[in-house]
Chains A and B, each alone.
Chain A
């Protein structure tokens, strides 16, 4: 499905938290220069309500995170739906909550996807675990395929219609 409009990439995770951070930073680095200039890339330590303006201003949003679910595949891509329930935690929001806030505040909601790759190490550190390092290339390819490329004609942003997963 080819998409047009404004793209926003929001990668989030704690700094110096091994895979949690390194995947995000590596993703941001590897996207720079390879996607169209008007694709906005944000690397943030946490999702909070202050991101709602950015989310509401986009037509398509890719949330990039890591996951540690034992039963999930190594790489998961799934569409994000607005959530009806609100987290009672004070300082973080889920991607679905940001979509709900965007709808409530600005009466518009971008299409949104979550790209989550497996994290094996979350201790203090700035390097990737071996498994995450191997996953990084697949994650990069998937994300790049979802965004308009820097060079016209290479990719126009092909977003999946439903959940997509990849297992090493």
Chain B
């Protein structure tokens, strides 16, 4: 008799999801799906607002990566007024962006995923959390906390506050960087590097002990997409879209952000509020692709900062130069990006123009539409606005990183379920492994559904007739 297992809510992720695992008559996994059950509707209720409000309005989509929305939105409205902000303004934006990259990746690795790595997938769920990590590795925990704090201070230094900054306006920035903030960030950079290196050492220790799991856990071929510099280097704020295939072959390269709709389509499924973007020439689902840290490190030709480059070369060696497929390698990619973020911050903080007051270029032009694209911590973020002649929003299209990883997360869940789910009864270790496959992608479901309500996942075991025969429900308390 065919059956279905449901995991709800998925824990240690940002947002509310559930997983259903369908078993065939022989009790083997036939299919698995991650359902995103939140709905918010930001695209709809932005209509009628003035475009100048969009950076502060859309950043409310998220409490973790508001900076990314603020920046992508700011770039879209720069486009509407036809202005490229002065270089000092772009430096400030990128400084804030790198602060967010560091704090968000630190939260994902140290707070959400390190319990699985340091304590084990099968450890007691009551202690498999940040308290358990602190007890097991207090010095690493302190460094993780410091990294998050450091990133947040960078955001506050540029944006005025740690969450939901309000500094970006059409044509530039509304505030300069104060010298005392620059000095604090430079003075604490060494400690931030040490913290990042500690994270890499912790992960490498785990990787050395788990080579087989790294190779097989949610590992599959896919396309990968992200922004690159004009020279094909790692890029998060500006650049061009690149899409590569499973063997690293370039499917698209140097695509201007304005042309994103020519290569990206969006499919829907009736069991999730989260859309399924795909590479248009290949159709859906064949054209599904991955974004985020793993994808970014898979698509680039180089990194132009020394520490991150050295680590990236190790990363490239994992699959002999071809794209790295294992989802657990997202964690390694995330830590390499923390290094890059810190190095880029150092470059910017030492740039004489970072304290400049030339941060705004006025314009009275209103063009009918604007596109802003940036690499959020979780992947590429698209903001596209259409406005009327006085600047009122007529239509909004937001394509969020987590949506672009939707099919990959579903595939990861399916692969892990097939590997670990045995029989009709749900085992806790199985449940946690399925969740860990999702956590690799560090999904931000509030962002991607544009959600109300409590964050956290249900696993249900259901027969072919639709009867639930077993269920595990998690609240937001362990």
Contact = CB atoms under 8 A, between A and B. Distances in A.
Is the A/B pair a real complex? yes
Given A89-B476, A100-B131, A104-B138, A49 B456 contact: no
Contacts, number: 69
A46 interface: yes
Interface in A23-69: 44-46, 48-50, 52-53
Given A90-B12, A90-B455, A104 B107 contact: no
Contact of B152 (A50, A85, A87, A104): A50
B330 to A, nearest CB: 16
A44 to B, nearest CB: 7
A88 B474 contact: yes
Interface in A72-120: 85-91, 97, 100-101, 104-105
A91 B15 CA distance: 11
Given A48-B148, A53-B145, A104-B138, A91 B107 contact: yes
24 contacts: A15-B161, A44-B162, A45-B162, A45-B164, A46-B63, A46-B163, A49-B145, A50-B149, A50-B152, A53-B145, A85-B126, A85-B477, A85-B478, A86-B129, A86-B131, A87-B477, A88-B476, A89-B456, A89-B476, A90-B111, A90-B112, A101-B131, A104-B138, A105-B134
B163 to A, nearest CB: 4
Interface in B11-49: 11-14
Contacts of A90: 12-14, 64, 107, 111-112, 455
B373 interface: no
B141 A105 contact: yes
Nearest to A45: B163
A49 B142 CA distance: 10
B348 interface: no
B46 to A, nearest CB: 14
A101 B135 CA distance: 9
Contacts of B12: 88, 90
Interface in A104-158: 104-105
Interface in B87-121: 107, 111-112
Nearest to B57: A124
Given A90-B12, A104-B138, A49 B477 contact: no
Interface string B362-385: 000000000000000000000000
Given A90-B455, A100-B131, A105-B141, 17 more contacts: A45-B63, A49-B130, A49-B148, A50-B152, A88-B11, A88-B456, A88-B477, A90-B12, A90-B64, A90-B111, A90-B112, A91-B64, A101-B131, A101-B134, A104-B134, A104-B135, A105-B142
Contacts of B478: 85-88
Interface of A: 15, 44-46, 48-50, 52-53, 85-91, 97, 100-101, 104-105
Interface of B: 11-14, 63-64, 107, 111-112, 126, 129-132, 134-135, 138, 141-142, 145, 148-149, 152, 161-164, 455-456, 474, 476-478
Which of A53, A88, A104 has the most B CB atoms < 10 Å from its CB? A88
A85 B127 CA distance: 8
Contacts of B130: 49, 86, 101
Contacts of B152: 50
Contacts of A101: 130-131, 134
A140 B111 CA distance: 35
Contacts of B164: 15, 45
Nearest to A90: B14
Contacts of A52: 145
A50 B138 contact: no
B129 A88 contact: yes
**What are the 7 A-B residue pairs with the smallest beta carbon separation, nearest first?**
A86-B129, A50-B149, A88-B11, A45-B163, A104-B134, A86-B131, A90-B14
Nearest to A100: B131
A132 to B, nearest CB: 22
Contacts of B161: 15, 45
A11 B455 CA distance: 23
A46 B62 CA distance: 13
A89 B13 CA distance: 7
A88 B128 CA distance: 10
Contacts of B474: 88
A52 B138 CA distance: 13
A97 B111 CA distance: 13
